[in-house]
Amino acid sequence: MRYLFRPPAADAAGLLALPWHQPLEKWDDSVLLDVPSRGISRHVVRFTASEGSVYALKEIAEPLARHEYALLGTFEEEGLPAVSVVGICVDRPDGLDAVLVTRYLEYSMSYRYLFSSRRGADSAERLMDTMVQLLVRLHLAGVYWGDCSLSNTLFRLDAGSFAAYLVDAETAERHPTISAGKRAYDLDLARERVGAELMDLQAGGLLPSGIDPIDVADSLAGRYEALWDEVTREEIFRPEEQRYRVAERLQRLNDLGFDVGEVELVTSAEGARLRVDTRVAEPGQNRRELFRLTGLEVQENQARRLLNDIRTFRAWLEQRSGRPVPDTVAGHRWLAEVYRPVVDAIPAGLVGRLEPAEVFHEVLEHRWFLSEQVGRDVGTTAAARSYFETVLPGTPEELTTPSAITERR
């Protein structure tokens, strides 16, 4: 047998002990984790925990495994939202297929859960927009997916909105750029698959009654075109509006979560033609800033939310002491005095239901809600207590991330 692990390969040691010589289907329950089935899949996919981390294992033909391993590796380097690949095992005995190992995407939710839950009833529109965001990002980076579907997408909460991740890159292709025809084809495949998946949910009685599978699937193209146009179109400005219109466009792209590479502005007497080279934002600005201040690694919208809370906290510190407080000091104090106490107070039985940063975000929302009700600020501690008693228990148990389950054992 031959194992290939991507650097830093710290995961390798624990994983080597698994029974690779047996078909995945025959692995003993003692090495597997019971993660509920998440979608339509052709291959045998199993989950395992090793040294506190959870991994997904997929048994597939070696050429496909190698292809997926290589592609997912480049996606990660470029900051494309996809599951993170750990390694592959090939040359298994008895002609067994290869196994692709990816890191379990913590706190991810499948479309099955999202469409059938309380949170999902009103979120079909937002889920479609999130998927389209993912597809536009891939296309901008020259990636043709060839299998864009709800089963191959994982969703995570990001400060109340969703973020989508690619989970299956078997059919994906990498090119310097991809043609409009190829993009349209990718989108058409997505439309077909999403339609079929939603009809499947409907047949199982899992789709809220107001949602029509065909309408939702058909809406993908329009959403995609709107976003693609927004991020790639050339614009003509009059000379006098040039400065603010350029700034406005760049800001809008940042707000949508894209970075701007080269900006080309060609001016003439009639005005200026602006062309921007839009890129996939590699860990967003807010994520980087929050990491610098606190060492916390969260998603972009969560980071924006937490940074706002740090700013408020800093202003309060300055007002109290009458002196300026450096942002790094404010960041560290906020972490120790505000954020950690909330996260540490999550009742043991509810740990792992939602990402800690998402819990904090929801506590801030809850604080606002309670404060509105009583007409004064109730403070974070009281808000957290009430949230843990009344809101968090409503999050379904199945959502608990597998690593929290293994830690509790």
Binding residues vs ligand ATP (CB under 6 A) = 38-39, 41-43, 45, 56, 58, 83, 102-105, 108, 110, 151-152, 154, 167-168, 170
| Site string (238-277) toward Mg ion, x via CB under 5 A | ----------------------------------------
Shortest distance in whole angstroms from residue 123 CB to Mg ion: 22
Give the one residue of 53, 108, 133, 152 binding Mg ion; rule: CB under 5 A.
Answer: 152
Shortest distance in whole angstroms from residue 318 CB to ligand ATP: 43
Give the one residue of 168, 197, 300, 362 binding Mg ion; rule: CB under 5 A.
Answer: 168
Shortest distance in whole angstroms from residue 174 CB to Mg ion: 19
Q: What count of Cα atoms within 13 Å lies in the side-chain half-sphere of residue 373?
A: 8
Question: Choosing among ligand ATP, Mg ion, none, which partner's interface includes residue 56 (Cβ < 5 to 8 Å by kind)?
Answer: ligand ATP
Shortest distance in whole angstroms from residue 209 CB to ligand ATP: 25
Question: Choosing among Mg ion, ligand ATP, none, which partner's interface includes residue 170 (Cβ < 5 to 8 Å by kind)?
Answer: ligand ATP
Question: Choosing among Mg ion, ligand ATP, none, which partner's interface includes residue 193 (Cβ < 5 to 8 Å by kind)?
Answer: none
Determine the Cα–Cα distance for residues 298 and 320; give it in Å rounded to an integer: 29
Closer residue to ligand ATP, CB minimum distance, 169 or 290: 169
Closer residue to Mg ion, CB minimum distance, 14 or 146: 146
Question: Choosing among ligand ATP, Mg ion, none, which partner's interface includes residue 104 (Cβ < 5 to 8 Å by kind)?
Answer: ligand ATP
Shortest distance in whole angstroms from residue 407 CB to ligand ATP: 17
Shortest distance in whole angstroms from residue 26 CB to ligand ATP: 17
Determine the Cα–Cα distance for residues 243 and 241; give it in Å rounded to an integer: 6
Residue nearest to Mg ion (CB): 168
For residue 59, what are the contacts with CB-CB under 8 A and spacing of at least 6?
Answer: 23, 24, 25, 43, 44, 45, 96, 97, 98, 99
Shortest distance in whole angstroms from residue 21 CB to ligand ATP: 21
Closer residue to ligand ATP, CB minimum distance, 34 or 240: 34
Closer residue to ligand ATP, CB minimum distance, 72 or 276: 72
Q: Quick one: tokens of 346?
A: 């999550």
Provide long-range contacts, Cβ within 8 A and 24+ apart, for 246-254: 246/272, 246/274, 249/274, 249/276, 250/276, 253/278, 254/281, 254/285
Shortest distance in whole angstroms from residue 66 CB to Mg ion: 17
| Site string (31-70) toward Mg ion, x via CB under 5 A | ----------x-----------------------------
Number of chain residues interacting with Mg ion (CB under 5 A): 3
Which range touches Mg ion (CB under 5 A), out of 70-78, 162-170, 268-276, 343-351?
162-170
Alpha carbon 134 to chain centroid, angstroms = 9
Shortest distance in whole angstroms from residue 64 CB to ligand ATP: 8
Closer residue to ligand ATP, CB minimum distance, 354 or 383: 354
Question: Choosing among Mg ion, ligand ATP, none, which partner's interface includes residue 333 (Cβ < 5 to 8 Å by kind)?
Answer: none
Closer residue to ligand ATP, CB minimum distance, 83 or 138: 83
What residue ranges bind Mg ion (CB under 5 A)? 41, 152, 168
